[in-house]
Each structure stands twice: as C-alpha cells, then as structure tokens.
Amino acid sequence: MQGAIDISKIRDLIDKLNYHTKLYDEGKPEISDQEWDDMYFKLVKLEQETNSYFEDSPTQRINYQVVNKLNKVEHSHPMLSLDKTKSIEAIKSFISGKDYIAMAKMDGLTCSLTYRGGRLVSAETRGNGIIGEDILYNALVVKNIPNKINFNDELIIDGEIICDYNTFKRFENDYKNPRNFASGSIRLLDSAECAMRGLSFVAWDVVSGFGQSCLSDKLIAAHNLGFTIVPIAPNVGNIDSDIEQVQLKCKALGYPIDGVVFKYDNIKEYVAAGRTDHHFKGGLAYKFYDDEYETTLKNIEFSMSRNGTLTPVVIFEPIEIEGTEVSRANLFNMTVMKQFLGHPWIGQKLWIYKANQIIPQVSRAEENDSRTKAYIEINHIQCPICGGDTYIEKLNDSEVLKCGNPSCEGKLVNRIDHFVSKKGLDIHGLSKATIEKLINWGWVNSIIDIFNLSQWKNEWIKKDGFGAKSVGNILESIRRSSTCNLESVIAGAGIPLIGRTVARDIARRFTTYDSFREAIKGDFDFSEIDGFGYEMNKSLKNFDYRELDNIVDIYLTIKEENTAQYVQQIGKIDLSGNTYCITGKLNHFKNRDELIAAIESHGGKVVSAMSKNVNFLINNDVNSTSAKNKKAIELGIPIISEQIMIDILDS
C-alpha cells in the first residue's frame, strides 16, 4: 500500500499548493513564500520517486489546445454496454454462487484511457462501442487523470467522465443534470474551457495491464498508480446490503449514479460468459430508475384499435434514447392522458423514458399554469378515421374514447388486420395498407369476405402494385390458414383483454372450438383458469361470436391441440446416447451454451437443426409456431420443457 500512500500525499500537496496559489493571486495569502516552496519541493521529490504526475500539478506546464472538430477513432477493444434489470431477484439469479464485485454505475460519459511507456497517449469516448471520439486534448486537463504513471507496459483503463454534485452547483442554472454537463464539457473544442468545468474521471475496469486474475485486484493496482476508482461494496454476499453500501459511499462523495453494477470478479469467468452485439454477459446492472429525457410536445394524435377505442398518442420533438430516435409515446386512455398532461399545450415540456429499455413512455410533464398557451382541444374530438362523433366510456375505472360510428372503416381495418396478423391466422401479404385497398374497392366488408377473395383474382392482378405472383401468394396463404389451431382463432378474434398467451391457456383447457363455445354459453367460470380474473371472464362472456362462428363453421378446419407429445414427467430418460435440439427462450439456464454444456457433460449430444435423428426437442412453449416445434410435431419427436430437462439432469 506504500504506492497508494505516496499518491495520496501527492494529491494532497497539489490541492494545497493550488489553493494557496489562488489566495496569493487574489492578494489574500495565508502562508509564507517559504512554506509554499517547502511544499513545492516536497511535491517534486515525491513525483520523481513515484514517476507519477498530474496535469493540475504546479510542477507541470499545461498546454491548452483548441481543435476544429472531434476526430473519430476505432477502439482497441469493444466498449459494449451491460444488460439491465430493476429486479433484485434477477441479480441474485445472475450471481448464482459466483464471486462478484458490486460497484457504482456512474452517471456520466464512458471513456477509455491508454498509457504506453508510462504516458497517457489516448483518450476516447465510447461512441457506438466500436468507434468513438478522440478527447485526449481534454483528458490531459482533467485534474485527476494522471499524465504520467509509474508503469511502462501498456495499460488500458475504462471509466466514466463525471461531474460531482458539489461542482455542478456552479452550473446547475444552465444545464439539466451532471451527466449532460459532463458529456458536453469533455467534448468542448477548447481544452482551457474544459479545464474550468471541474470534471473527474472514475475508473471501473482495467482492460489491459497488470497480472491479477480478478477485477477487484486490478482496480486496487490502478488506485495505487493514482487513479480514482469506482466506489465498491464490501462483498458480504448480501445483494441488498451491497446496493445500500454503494449508495452511501456515492452520496458521501457527491457522485451521480443511476444504479449498481454486478460483475463476475474472476476475469476468466467474466470472459467465458460471452457477449452479444450489445452487452457483455458477465455483468448485470441494477437500475434504480429509468433515464428520463426532456423534450417538448408537438401534438396529440389518436390511433384506433380493432374495437373502436381511440388511444391518445403524444407527438414530441425527436430525442435519442438507448441508441434509437423516438418521437411518439402511447398514453393508453383519456384518464392517463389527463393525469400526465392536464390540459396539454404545444411546447409543453415532457420527460420521456423507455420502459424496460424498449417502449417509450411519458414519465411526467410540465404542470399547467395561468399563462396563455396554444392549448390542444381535447373535449370535442372527432374520429380521425371516419370523422364521426366520439364518446367517453368508463372501463375498469378509466375513461376511454370511442368512435360512435358503427360503420367506421377504421374499426373494420383494424379488426381484419388483427385477425390475419401473426397473433391470429398469420395470413402473409395482407398488410393494413392492402386491407384498406380491398375495402375501398368494395371487395371486403367483413372478415368473412377475406375467404372469398379468389373471386376477384382476375381484377386484382391488374391493380397497381400487384401482379399474378403476389396475388397468388396471398390467396395461397389464405387457403393454408384455413387449417389452423384453436389458439390462433381465439387470439385473432379480437376479444378485449384476450391476447395470444391467454388464448393459449384457453386452447389447452378446451381442445376444440365446440367445447370452448359450450363453455361460453354455459356457466363455466374462466376465472378458474390460472391467471384469469373477473374482467377477462366478463369479456369472454360478453363478446359477440356470431361472425366468428360462421367463419369457423364454413371456412376453417381447427386442429385439436397436439399436446400429447409434450413430456410432462421425467420417466426413464438416459441422456447418454440421446440427441437433443434446443429452441425458444430459456428461463433457468443463463444461456444456451450453459445448457449445452450440462447435456454434454452427462453424455448427451446437442445439434442445431431438427431431423429424424433428434430424440428430444427442448422448448418451454409446446404450442410455439417456430419451425423446429412444427418439425418435431411432424416427426413425432417428444418436446420437453427446460424444467423437465433440469429434473433429468438432477436424477
């Protein structure tokens, strides 16, 4: 620890000398020139002994630079992100008995530093993970980034450029938050101006350099060379305690953070976990909250669902979130819109986040006040499809806006589009645009008409944008869809609250359409099925099935659910000598490679393609429409769940 003590002394002397230099320049000295000189020469001696130098040291002459633009540079290593979760249980499952390190998830701009021969030779922003921006000229003036270190081999340190909360107080009236301030400041073209911003660098990874086998040891070595390292929790094996300890440390330091990162401490285990194009699998970030992005409201539009409900959609100035540009967010119903926006106006500030890093949503909005604004009228909305009057209907304690025109074309388009989509009968070629044309031509006035389109074939192939081949493909897809399963029929019907997953549960309970309809007509309570509630049961009972009954009776052949091949119990299955294929999402194994390794360690064989030589298909969804699932059913190959596979491995 002698090195760390020396570096601490160097930093202390630099800060004291700079403080007293400032007072001297202001004409308010607190120490004598002799005292200042004594500290200065003590600093010189320590710097020479440790070969460690900081750019804000009075022994160094800072050469400020001005550049015309930021040059793009390709990274020496992929600077990928980490997968994220807001679930403590997911973190515990990820750790699963492995040695780990819990560190603060710094809220700044990711940066990579490279040293060769003891000198800082490169500083790069993360960019897209492959190509970033050269910020060396500014990194040289960040006070806690060493310019020289006592280490001659190559050293690559990844970390975060941040602005702590105490420093940010000087700038908070002009900038949104410390993260945006740090990101913009480190990319200024004038390094003298950057130096005035008080930025810091916090290291959280050692990509190259040192011989230790664990990340925690490498970070300690980096600290001993003079780097500020990320706050780390004392590893006591308690996830909740780790998170709390990291938060307390960062609060004391004034560090902006938005979560806690959990990584496998053993570097070989971290690397062996692999990576995707987006993130490394050896780490998982626990997020305290979703990142918010400020924008302004441009308008409110309404989209129509298949049952005539008009859903408010906010249109805002485009912003980039999680690497994609977004400009729209769904507000679900009128109650939600009023809760978030009040009486909305053009230019109203909105804060947007991505729920689960996928779906843009409004988190909050600027509150109404008495100033005159360009308010958006929401009390007398007309249907955007047919122009008809709308009305408010109460549904589950929420107000929904509905079109009052029973002949609204928008309702028909959306009902048909839902029925023929992948959620329903999966009829290829019938896009919403094509359905609209078929309705405008007068050929389709109901879902039933879809099954009679062959009568218009000769006229259809002459229409712009179509031809004999495309029309023939659509008609063939309609013909094939006439043989389907019960799940597709129920899901495609458009019953409120009944999606594909719920339809699958119903199809497993009632294997024929007739038995399903008898249950609807009778006194069967669908709430008896796991996951069903009162509203679902009411929706199933109140739906108008007349059109669907006619379609099933005249046009469809519904196959009974083929669940008999799904292995429900272990029985006597010997892995040795058997061949397995895997498809679908895994719930228990971290990834497919881990499952493959488990099977092969017990003498089994895993192949990537289905064939008659496969003994078992591993799939958690027996009713999946995937090619492998269909092939297994076609060949009569048993399908076993992941849990059954685990039971086999443990038996």
Rounded distance between C-alpha atoms, residue 599 and residue 135, angstroms: 48
Q: Is 45 exposed, middle or buried (0-12, 13-18, 19+ CB in 10 A)?
A: exposed
Q: Give the residues across from 161 on adjacent strands.
A: 109, 201
Rounded distance between C-alpha atoms, residue 615 and residue 638, angstroms: 7
Sign of CA dihedral 520, 525, 531, 533: positive
Rounded distance between C-alpha atoms, residue 520 and residue 527, angstroms: 12
Q: Give the residues across from 248 on adjacent strands.
A: none
Catalytic one among 105, 148, 218, 249?
A: 105
Give the helix/strand (H/E) hosting 488.
Answer: helix 486-492
Q: Give the residues across from 232 on adjacent strands.
A: 103
105 is known as an active-site residue: yes
Alpha carbon 324 to chain centroid distance?
11
Q: Which residues contact 407 (CB under 8 A, 6 or more apart)?
A: 386
- Amino acid in position 173: N
Round the CA-based radius of gyration of the chain to a whole number and report it: 32
Closest CA to 260 of 277, 244, 276, 278: 244
Question: DSSP code of 275?
Answer: B
Rounded distance between C-alpha atoms, residue 108 and residue 67, angstroms: 23
Upper half-sphere CA count for residue 625 (Cβ side, 13 Å): 14
Q: Is 555:483 a contact under the CB 8 Å cutoff?
A: no
Collapsing DSSP to helix, strand or coil, 367 comes out as coil
Active-site residue numbers?
105
